[in-house]
Each structure stands twice: as structure tokens, then as C-alpha cells.
Amino acid sequence: MSNIDNDYFFAIARAQSDYARCIDDDRLEDWPAFFEEACLYRITSAASHRDGYEASVVFANSRGMLTDRISALREANIYERQAYRHLLGMPALLGQTSAGLRTETPFMVARIMQDGTTDLYATGRYLDIWNLKGEAPKIVERIVVCDSSRFDTLLAIPL
Amino acid sequence: MSNIDNDYFFAIARAQSDYARCIDDDRLEDWPAFFEEACLYRITSAASHRDGYEASVVFANSRGMLTDRISALREANIYERQAYRHLLGMPALLGQTSAGLRTETPFMVARIMQDGTTDLYATGRYLDIWNLKGEAPKIVERIVVCDSSRFDTLLAIPL
Amino acid sequence: MSNIDNDYFFAIARAQSDYARCIDDDRLEDWPAFFEEACLYRITSAASHRDGYEASVVFANSRGMLTDRISALREANIYERQAYRHLLGMPALLGQTSAGLRTETPFMVARIMQDGTTDLYATGRYLDIWNLKGEAPKIVERIVVCDSSRFDTLLAIPL
């Protein structure tokens, strides 16, 4: 593994860690800034992804759509306050494409209910393409592949 | 991210990993040695922390208090033996203060009961200040912010 | 921590990450290639390991036995398809032996059932010896020490 790879690893690992903290700290308004203006954000299931379906539970192809999503979430979420905790594995560097650096990063997300109950809310992996040309890496494309196909509650927060 | 940052990252990541192994290996008597002689160790909830309350479920401001805590735990814990498994995310380096390097590290802790039942026991983040002047980083301050406010069992082991 | 340690850390972290993805992607036929031809692979419990018992739930001492294991698994597993998600902590470098580099790496594995139910399936640590002489690190010895002693379902997939 070359020093360049190590530098990329650090840059991506730090960006992923910041991304997770942004959501877990409930600073959702800052979340779209992790993405390029023109971007792709999809949440799908492992089964759909494996079968090559393009259907997504959540789909956005611009930073503006992500901002709108957060606004809607803030308006809707006037009932119960839940908390989330992301834990991410090490990013795997999968190679350079013309769009940017492709990586895969596994995750587990715990959900903490108002009454303190904690459960494993979602597991899966981020399939990402990163633009590394700016100061901090920006997400060009993030496909969130959830291991489970049960998505009823998955519509709530960004993953 | 500079090379100095990378070195800090490694030093903190290694210290965190050693800290978690110390607890999970049940070598609790070694646990206070991760702290400075004059230190702050608190366990609190995200809700208390967000509201600025200083109230803590666990509080210690010296290494001696941590040692006392382990002694008390060993005497009390003559009934059921439980095991724990910490999994930590990457430390985020938040900046230098006069007291040391501030970092934040997310965690999940699983608890394994005698009968083999495994559950997600606690999630949260370590808000730390590290003294990096010695051979290994030492904890000047560790505020363990648990995502859940349900603390009945949280009094048992160090987090 | 020296630069050589950092290089080892990266090499092991990458190998562990690749290992976990191989299993979670259900590319089980590729799994034996992470091991040396002459290797030791054991799954045991923390209680057995602590008491010094050599008894293992799973035992293999060659790559061929690992390959056989996957073949048997593929033939047997015609009923319900489950998915797994490994999340690994940072590897701790424990020192060089004549057999290779010793490391310890904690893990959590979630299991996702066909109906979407997700639970914490196994937690524990990998006690490994790595041969670092080739292009990618190869496993000379992997003792999977599970925190739980309940092994009925643990026979299913490689850990």
C-alpha cells in the first residue's frame, strides 16, 4: 500500500467519521454539505442491489433535494425524538474512476428510543464515489445498501 | 491532513484500542493507568450533556477514585459474571487546548450474559482530552456521553 | 509508534476489511485464500480459551479443510438465506514471533434474517498470526474467540 493510498485512506476515514457525527449530533442541516451540488444519493436494499434493480427507497440527485428532505423531516418529526449512533468500519479503497475515488465502507446504526431502549436499526455498506479535489472530500455518489429489506422505518433519517 | 495529525491519530487510536481491550479482557485493575493522576472521568447522558447539566451517573476526579471504584466493583460483583465487548469508531481530532488534545470517539458496547444472550448494552461517544507528552497518551478528561438516559445497569462496569 | 508499525497497521487493517467483505458479500469460495496453505483456524469461546482448553467448535489446520467446509456449507444451506455484517475494530499489533506478526482485532457480527429481523449474532476477537512476506498478508493462525458460549447457530458461517 503506497503513501498516496494511506493519505486517501485518512481523508476518507475522516470524512466518513465527520458525516456520521453530523447525523448522530442531529446537525442534519449540515448534512447536505458533504455532497457535491450534482450528486446521487440512494438508499436501497442488498436484495435489490444484487438483482440490479434501480428502485430506491430514497432517491436524490442534487444537494437541493437533500436539503428539502431535511426540511420535510424537521416539519414531520414533531412527535417522538429518537437518537442514532453510527459505527463505521474502515473504508476499502476500490479504485479511481473518471468520476472520483470509489470506496466501500460497512456500517451499523443503533437507534435509541425516548425510553432508552436501544436496538440495531440498520446495517449495510456505503458504496461511494468521492471528489478529492477540494479541501475536504465530497460525495459524488452514495448508494446506501442496507442488508435488510424491511424499510418501513428507514425512511426517517438519513443514513 | 498533515503527517502530525496522522501520528496523533495513530497514537489515539492505539490508546483507545488498548483501553477497550483492558475492559473487555476484565483486566480492570489496569484501567486507572490510562488516566492522569489528576483527571476527570464522568459518565452522563446525551440529554444531560445537551442541556448543560453537570450531573453525572459516575464521577471521579483522580486516578485514586478510579482505583477505589474497581475495588468496590470487585467486592460487589460476586454474583453473575458478564462480559462486554467494546467496538470503537475512528477518533475525530477536534483540536489542541492548553490541557491537551481534544478528541471524540463513538462507541458501541455489547453485553454477553452468562447464558450467552448478547445485547446492545450502551452506545455513545467519548469526549476526551489527552496528554500526549509521555510515551503513551494519557487521559486528562473523559466524558462518556451515553445516548440512552436509562442508567440502572450502567453503574456496573467502566465505559 | 514507528512508521514500520504504521505500515503494518495499514496492511493488517486492509486485510481484515477485505476478509470481512468477502464473507458479508457471500463470496465464501474466496475465503480460504486469506489463509496460508498450512494454517490453523479455530472458533472457540472466551470461557474455553480462558481455561486453556484446546476444544474448538470449528477446527481446521489446512486451507483444504477450509475449502471443504465451504463446499459442505453450500450443499447444506439450501433452506433459508441469511446475511451477515461484520464490523471490526482497529487491529492491535501485539508483536513479532517466529511464525509472524501477532495481532488482536475485536469484532461484532450482525445477522439479518430473510424477514429483515436484525440481531447481534456474535461478538469477540480475532487472535491472529500473519505472514507479511507476500503481497497481501496471509493468515498463519486465526483463533476466533467468541464472547458467548452459545454455539448452536455459530456453526453456520465462517467468522
Closest alpha carbon to B83 in C17, C106, A86, C88: C106
Backbone dihedral angles phi then psi of residue C132, each to the nearest 5 degrees: -100, 10
Q: In chain C, which residue's Cα lies nearest the Cα of A125?
A: C85
More confidently predicted of A5 and C49 = C49
Do B120 and A118 make contact, defined as CB atoms within 8 angstroms? yes
Distance from CA of C35 to the nearest CA of A (A): 20
Q: Does A110 touch chain B (CB under 8 A)?
A: yes
> Which pLDDT score, from 0 to 100, does residue A153 have?
53
B110 membership: H or E segment, kind and range: strand B100-112
- Best of B48, B147, B154 to mutate (most A CBs within 10 Å, chain A): B147
- Best of A57, A109, A120 to mutate (most C CBs within 10 Å, chain C): A120
Between CA A143 and CA A148, with CA A144 as vertex, the angle to 5 degrees is: 135
Q: Please count the CA atoms within 13 angstroms of the CA of B142 that sit on its side-chain side.
A: 28
- Evaluated on CA atoms C58, C60, C66, C70, the torsion sign reads negative
Q: In chain A, which residue's Cα lies nearest the Cα of B123?
A: A85
Q: Which three cell numbers mark B79?
A: 454474583
Give Cα B154 distance to the centre of its chain.
Answer: 12
Q: Does C132 touch chain A (CB under 8 A)?
A: no
Do A108 and C110 make contact, defined as CB atoms within 8 angstroms? yes
Q: What is the pLDDT of residues B56-85, one digit of tens each?
A: 888 999 999 999 999 988 887 655 678 899
CA gyration radius, chain B: 15
Report the distance separating Cα B102 and Cα C131, nearest Å: 36
Average pLDDT of the segment spanning A42-63: 88
Report the distance separating Cα A45 and Cα A124, nearest Å: 9
| Residue C3, pLDDT above cutoff 80 | no
Strands B35-45, C100-112: pairing is unpaired
- Domains of chain A (ranges; CATH) run 3-146 (3.10.450.50)
Report the distance separating Cα B4 and Cα A6, nearest Å: 14
Q: What is the pLDDT of residues C105-143, one digit of tens each?
A: 999 999 998 888 899 999 999 999 999 999 899 999 999
Residues of A in contact with B104 (CB under 8 A): 21
Report the distance separating Cα B70 and Cα B12, nearest Å: 24
Of B11, B83, B115, the CB nearest to C147: B83
In the complex, which subunits touch A with 3 or more CB pairs below 8 angstroms? B, C
Residue C67 CA: distances (Å) to CA of B124, C18, C20, C56:
40, 18, 17, 18
> By the 8 A CB rule, do C141 and C128 touch?
yes
Report the distance separating Cα A28 and Cα A81, nearest Å: 14
Residues 6+ apart with CB under 8 A from A149: A45, A46, A47, A48, C116
> By the 8 A CB rule, do C98 and B59 touch?
no
Q: What is the pLDDT of residues C49-75, one digit of tens each?
A: 988 887 788 899 999 999 999 998 888
Q: Does C125 touch chain B (CB under 8 A)?
A: yes
Report the distance separating Cα A104 and Cα A39, nearest Å: 17
Q: What is the pLDDT of residues A99-156, one digit of tens each?
A: 999 999 999 999 998 888 899 999 999 999 999 999 899 999 999 999 998 765 555 6
Backbone dihedral angles phi then psi of residue B76, each to the nearest 5 degrees: -75, -35
Between CA B150 and CA B159, with CA B153 as vertex, the angle to 5 degrees is: 90
3-class SS of residue A30: helix
Report the distance separating Cα A7 and Cα B120, nearest Å: 34
| Residue C156, pLDDT above cutoff 80 | no
Q: Which residues 57-86 of chain A have a CB within 8 Å of chain C?
A: none
